[in-house]
A and B are shown apart, each in its own frame.
Chain A
Amino acid sequence: MLDPSLRHATVAILALSLGTIATSRQGVAEEAASFPSPEQLLQVPVGPTFPGGVRFPPPIKDPEADDPAAIQRGMQAFVSMNCVGCHAPNGGGGMGPALSERTFIYGREPANIYLSIQQGRPNGMPAWAKMLPANVTWDLVAYIRSISSAPETQWGQTTSRSPQSPTIQQVPAELLTTTTPWAHTEPFGDGRKPSMH
């Protein structure tokens, strides 16, 4: 017997996202072979230090990265699974941290992001493993990699009023739906109304 909250959740997924998720793939099982194995994922380090200088295997590539439709599917899942509510449109952050910047608390390698989603993270990131199959999670990874590619003009980040920094803002989501928000920017708005494109 499902507990009531889970039942609710299931209804929501079926209604809003499985349509997209299921029809976009020819079945999870036949694809699964190409996904990293649990053993491989277990070896993924979260941080950059290794006692004794032992080498780790090279980072795992996002198996969906070569599928141009993956980012698009990832964006749909980001909305239908309510990631967008906590991380904001285009991953600007709110209840959850910004996913629009290049720095990540738990690592920005594809496998780091994959594990953050599947396992959850202690300070409020829900664990999605029982809800999101591997292929959907890798789609999300592809999307998050895309929205987190903020332009970099220097190594660190300067915040200043004069001269103003940051100098740009994204075209806001109510005006533009895109998988590449960092390709659409305008001058920093300073709390004024955005220009209407």
Chain B
Amino acid sequence: MYRIAKIKPPSNGSDEGEGTLITIASNVLSNHVRSSILVLSGLIALSAPAFAQSPAAPNASPTNLDILSRDPNQWVMAPHDYANTRFSSLDQINAGNAAQLHLAWTFSVGADRGQEAAPLIVNNTMYVVAPYAGPHPNQVFALDATTGDLKWSYAPKPDGAAQGVACCDVVTRGLAYDQGKIFLNTLDNYSVAIDANTGKELWHTKLGDLNEGQTITMAPLVVKGKVLIGNSGGEVGVRGWLTALDENTGHIAWRAYSAGPDSDVLIGSDFKPFYDWLKGKDLGVKSWPPGAWKTGGGTMWGWISYDPALNLIYYGSGNPGPWNSNQRPGDNLWTTTIFARDVDTGAARWALPLNPHDLFDHDEINENVLLDLEIKGQLRKVLVHPARNGYMYVIDRATGEILSADPYDHITATTGVDLKTGRPIENEEKAPVLGKNIEDVCPAAPGAKDWQPTAWSPRTKLLYVPHQHLCMNFKTAQVGYIAGTPFVGAEVDMYAGPGGNRGEFMAWDVTEHKKVWAIRENFPVWTGTLVTAGDVAFYGTLDRWFKAVDARSGALLWQFRAGSGFVGQPVTYKGADGAQYVAILSGAGGWPAAVAAAKIDPRVRNAALGFVGATQDLPQYTSGGSELLVFKLAGSGAPQGNPSHANGAQLETGNAHAQ
């Protein structure tokens, strides 16, 4: 199993035996001072896979969107495909030529806060959405994906005040597309459908109330004509839900709460949880102090996957509220829970709470990557969930049985996962005691990985995981519920984990249960990632680097110094000129980096729910930004001939005098 080891001085990449971490490529070290690349030697050259692994195979009648998502020239949903692989089969950019990447064009979204959104590319049009800031909060832009020409923009009518209840910066994680429509979630709780060609508004539906602390930050996903949307506000005592809207009318088709009576959670006769302790009536009520589920969180602000063959969607719910666990004795079902639901009715098929009676804000809204893997000689339909609690879960996605759960970062809060019950084994020493400061709780509140999504390559059979490496001091306090104000009750102070690095970009072998290589980064790696058939993986750093690395070895191939730190999601597509493009938004923000973009004091460690302790020096590297960056290989794409002025600009020569 992976252990944290000391970084040794750069060697020449000589073999040091299995399980030893060594540094390679001393030029990489000098290029970026405090990030270093570590390789578990002996695993660099991957042997041929022993068995077949591929993204989930769709059934006989795939939806239009499912078909579109398999066109490598487009990027039609934030997670790339329903299996959430974020793998593109484009290979024009490859490990051999990535060093020749250069900027093709840029665009400002006009709002200098955390840029977490994934651009979408449909029919050579790129759609991007700004955070909830600036003169036009959550403005949507449609651009020519090849030239960067602005086609239209759409500004929703803001309700105001939303930023006061958004826990972790005013971010959005992106848009959705289906059947000629773009779907926008606004921070102030609207879902909007926009004509993808004209920018004209088709409908808008209000889904939540700021006075109850609700907001929306996640990227919607459209499945079989339903726009799936979850709410945010786990730090404000919001009752979490996932809502399905009819994509043509905006009317609510179903809403599934994460806590409360079975009728609200949509638990019925089809519900077959794998573990016995999850069987029983109204556990979403009984596992709480009386009524506490009404303000108990379980929001849904992360990712949804869909298996067309099983007709099931998968997503995880957020933390229970308040963070002070002493106030909510019980398992607090169904917070921090992975749900499998019938997409047509919302009915729950199985559920698996990963952190029953969560102690440390370990939401489990992270992505569930759907893979068909051969495990112990059997082909299993699994979902891989890199959990906030620090374990890499491999779960049978038909039944909800945990097949394995291996630590992928330093963990002190628990000592393992009991595979008989599915429950983590708590470390008594780290259990919160009211009013007592508990030190060295690892992973910290944002977990070993937060929302920032992984990518899986069917070529390397590796999962690429951007994540943080943090521990914390954690002190609970009694908190009263006042609607629309924070319901937290904890003083949190985060800091770098063992080794001193605060983040990591790593490649994980799902079937071998181990880390293959890892790039240690100075700051938490808060971007999503992308991996391509050119065997290149992309991610960005808070200190303004956008990087391309070799998907097999982790070697740095190329990097670009941008205007602001990265918290976005890289995507790739093919332009009308035949060139492969890579796009990402630059702009520091989100939970770890709001200190660099908002009025937050880096000298007060407990600021921003304690994340400032860990990133207090970030303002020394970046401020906020709002720039979309689009790259391609130098000289790639159809020849443009002599450059000509766009938009009617003309060079006047000869006697051009002022009149």
Interface residues of A (CB under 8 A from B): 5-6, 8-9, 11-13, 15-17, 79-82, 84-86, 88-98, 100-101, 105, 122-126, 150, 159-161, 164, 166, 168-170, 172-175, 181, 185, 188-194, 196
Encoded as 1 (CB less than 8 Å from any A CB) or 0, chain B from 582 to 617 comes to 000000000000100011111111111100111111
Known: A82-B479, A173-B491. A95 touches B166 (CB 8 A): yes
- One of A9, A88, A159 near B607 (C-beta < 8 A): A88
Measured in the bound complex, the distance between the Cα atoms of B478 and A80 in whole Å is: 9
| Interface contact B496-A95, CB-CB below 8 Å | no
| Interface contact B167-A169, CB-CB below 8 Å | no
Residues of A within 8 A of B482 (CB): 8-9, 12-13, 81-82
Other than the known A98-B607, A100-B604, what 15 A-B pairs have Cβ atoms closer than 8 Å? A5-B211, A5-B483, A5-B484, A85-B485, A95-B167, A100-B601, A122-B160, A150-B603, A168-B603, A174-B473, A189-B616, A191-B617, A193-B471, A193-B495, A194-B605
Residues of B within 8 A of A82 (CB): 479-480, 482, 485-487
Residues of A within 8 A of B488 (CB): 85
| Interface contact B161-A124, CB-CB below 8 Å | yes
Most buried by A among B502, B615, B616: B616
**Is B212 part of the binding interface, using a Cβ–Cβ cutoff of 8 Å?**
yes
| Interface contact B487-A93, CB-CB below 8 Å | no
Known: A12-B480, A125-B164. A170 touches B603 (CB 8 A): yes
Residues of A within 8 A of B295 (CB): 8
Measured in the bound complex, the distance between the Cα atoms of B621 and A84 in whole Å is: 28
Range for the number of chain B residues in contact with chain A = 35 or more
| Interface contact B163-A95, CB-CB below 8 Å | yes
| Interface contact A161-B620, CB-CB below 8 Å | yes
Q: Per DSSP, are chain A's interface residues mostly helix, strand or loop, or mixed?
A: loop
| Interface contact B483-A8, CB-CB below 8 Å | yes
Measured in the bound complex, the distance between the Cα atoms of B598 and A123 in whole Å is: 13
**Is B43 part of the binding interface, using a Cβ–Cβ cutoff of 8 Å?**
no
Interface residues of B (CB under 8 A from A): 160-167, 211-212, 235-236, 295, 437, 439-440, 471, 473-475, 477-488, 491-493, 495-496, 500, 502, 594, 598-609, 612-617, 619-621
Measured in the bound complex, the distance between the Cα atoms of B604 and A94 in whole Å is: 11
Known: A92-B601, A174-B606. A123 touches B484 (CB 8 A): no
Q: Per DSSP, are chain B's interface residues mostly helix, strand or loop, or mixed?
A: loop
Residues of A within 8 A of B496 (CB): 191-193
| Interface contact A15-B601, CB-CB below 8 Å | no
Measured in the bound complex, the distance between the Cα atoms of B493 and A196 in whole Å is: 12
| Interface contact A86-B616, CB-CB below 8 Å | no
Q: Which 7 A-B pairs have the closest CB atoms?
A: A124-B164, A85-B486, A92-B604, A92-B607, A12-B480, A5-B483, A82-B485
- Minimum Cβ distance to chain B for residue A96 (Å): 6
- One of A86, A105, A160 near B620 (C-beta < 8 A): A160
- Closest-by-CB residue of A relative to B612 is A92
- Minimum Cβ distance to chain B for residue A184 (Å): 12
